[in-house]
Amino acid sequence: MHLLYILVVTFTSPLAPCGRRGLADASCSINRITANRYSECEWITIHVDVIKIVRGQPVLEGTADFDAKHHPEAPTDVSMINQPRIADGVRVLRLRGGYYGDPYPVCPRLHPADGRPANQTRTARSSARNARRDMDLRGARILVPGATGEIGAALAVRLHALGARTALAGRDREALTRVSAACEHAPARTFDAWDAYSCAKTVDWAAAELGGLDGVVVCVGVAAFGPAGEVEDAVSEHLMAVNALAPMAFLRAAGDRLPEGGVLAAVTGIVAEAAPARMADYAAAKAALATWLTAVRREQRRQGVTVLEINLPHMDTGFAGRAVAGQAPPLPRGLPVPDAVDVIVRALSEGARLVRPGSGAALEVVR
């Protein structure tokens, strides 16, 4: 679950004009964080976008990540505001937070807008707990379920070109043969997303074919449209099976197989957060997967396995036109598939935890 907070902060050293010096040269302190939020969890993981107001317009200066103590029986000191107060000279923090129960404090990790670390100060214990392990894609053994779709196929071919050893899985045998040929006849297998056992056995097959696994990137998905009251139960069940239960089955089966530095990844979508009208069941399935990934990330951190959520906007794939029910509303032009694949590959290689629509670019990588 992502929460949006807007905070006003002061900098202990002033920022120079934009373009000459950046966040790396400044530090900040939060005047006050108040949050009327109750939870049984003791700690809140918070991601911060640091925004400077320039002539009335917000400009992203960088990001920070830290954990905050949260008493289980009292509200954490953070107040939720829907809209920022924009005024010249005011600097704003935009926070997205999630809960977990690991009781170790983490020092703030400040980054400039390009994502390079600007402040590495942290305790040794928190550093070990939050270390990100980059993946060398050369020789990496990666299973790609959904390799017959536009995104999955393009990703499989790109991973192969970068030296990864891929195993491909999909429902369209003919398309699977074409993608396999483009990857120098990588091993390929069909599966049924309705059958969780089929998904799990595909992981066993891939591990046997490749001699082990270093990563799984699930790219399966299907859409449906229409008012919630008009969506048939069978359609809702299909959406949940393909968009949530099948990816969960793949990643669950792979979790104990991956070595330290491995990656579990799945495509969710901006609908999980936006929850558009006439897409209730589709959005709910994607949101279920996103929540599951967040929980598994917390479980896997001590094993050194990265869990990556690939939260994509509307893509230029014709996906909406292949909905199992209903008709898609008018949609803007989608993001080209090669652009998304570029960012996904970068996120995999950097041990990132999230790909999401960005403020200054089509997609951004969050480590």
- Of 128, 162, 189, which residue is a domain's last? 128
pLDDT band at 47 (very low <50, low <70, confident <90, very high): low
Cα separation of 205 and 39, whole Å? 41
Residues 164 and 251 reside in one and the same domain: yes
Work out the average pLDDT over 33-61: 53
> Is 146 found in the same domain as 124?
no
> Which string of DSSP letters, residue by residue, matches 76-134?
-S----SS----TT-EEEEEEEEEE--------EEEETT---SB----HHHHHHH----
Q: Which amino acid is at 234?
A: A
Residue 133 lies in a domain: no
Asked if residues 164 and 142 have their Cβ atoms less than 8 Å apart, the reply is: yes
CA–CA separation, 100 vs 294, rounded Å? 9
- Does the pLDDT value for residue 57 go beyond 60? yes
Instruction: Count up the domains in the chain and report the number.
Output: 2
Upper half-sphere CA count for residue 75 (Cβ side, 13 Å): 9
Q: Give me the DSSP letters along 318-364.
A: S-GGG-SSS-PPP-PPPBPHHHHHHHHHHHHHHT-SEEEE-SSSSEE
Q: Which domain-ending residue is among 99, 128, 157?
A: 128
In a 13 Å sphere around the CA of 262, the CA atoms on its Cβ side amount to 23
Of 76, 95, 128, the domain-final residue: 128
Residues 61 and 100 in one domain: yes
pLDDT band for position 361 (50/70/90)?
low
Structural domain range at position 40? 3-128
The string of pLDDT tens digits covering residues 68-89 is 544 444 443 333 333 333 333 3
Residues 191 and 65 in one domain: no
pLDDT digits (tens, 9 = 90+) for 318-360: 888 889 999 998 888 899 999 999 999 999 999 999 999 987 6
pLDDT at 249 over 80: yes
Query: Among 115, 135, 116, which Cα is nearest to 348's?
Result: 135
Q: What is the DSSP letter of 241?
A: I
Percent of the chain residues past pLDDT 90, beyond the cut = 58
Q: Full-prediction pTM beyond 0.85?
A: no
- Answer with the residue of higher pLDDT: 116 or 48: 48
3-state secondary structure of 264: strand
Query: Could you tell me if 61 and 187 lie in one domain?
Result: no
CB 192 within 8 A of CB 172: no
Q: How far apart are CA 85 and CA 257, in angstroms?
A: 48
> Is residue 64 domain-shared with residue 162, that is, in the same domain?
no
Task: Give the pLDDT of residue 130.
Answer: 44
CA distance readout (Å), 85 to 58, 94, 363: 10, 11, 26
Are 182 and 112 found together in one domain?
Answer: no
Whether 119 and 169 share a structural domain = no
- Asked if residue 300 has pLDDT above 60, the reply is yes
Could you give the CA distance from residue 68 to residue 95 in angstroms, rounded to a whole number? 12
Residue 280 predicted with pLDDT over 60 = yes
Assess whether 195 and 342 both reside in one domain: yes
Question: Where is pLDDT greater, at 38 or 318?
Answer: 318
Q: What is the pLDDT of residue 31?
A: 36
In a domain, 170, yes or no: yes
Dist. CA 340–CA 312, nearest whole Å: 8
Among 92, 109, 124, 103, which residue's Cα sits nearest to residue 46?
A: 109
48: pLDDT confidence band, cut at 50, 70 and 90?
low
pLDDT of residue 117: 37
Q: Is residue 121 part of a domain?
A: yes
Looking only at the bridges linking them, the beta strands covering 188-190 and 43-54 are unpaired
Structure tokens at 68: 């905050």
Same domain, 41 and 160: no
Q: Is the pLDDT of residue 59 over 50?
A: yes
Residues 99 and 64: beta-carbon distance below 8 Å: no
Residue 241 in this model has a pLDDT that exceeds 80: yes
- Domain-located, residue 136: no
71 and 192 both lie in a single domain: no
- Compute the mean pLDDT over every residue in the chain, rounded to the nearest whole number: 76
Give pLDDT tens digits for 200-217. Answer: 999 999 999 999 999 999
Q: In what order do the strands lie in the sheet with 3-11?
A: 28-30, 3-11, 91-100, 43-54, 57-69, 109-112
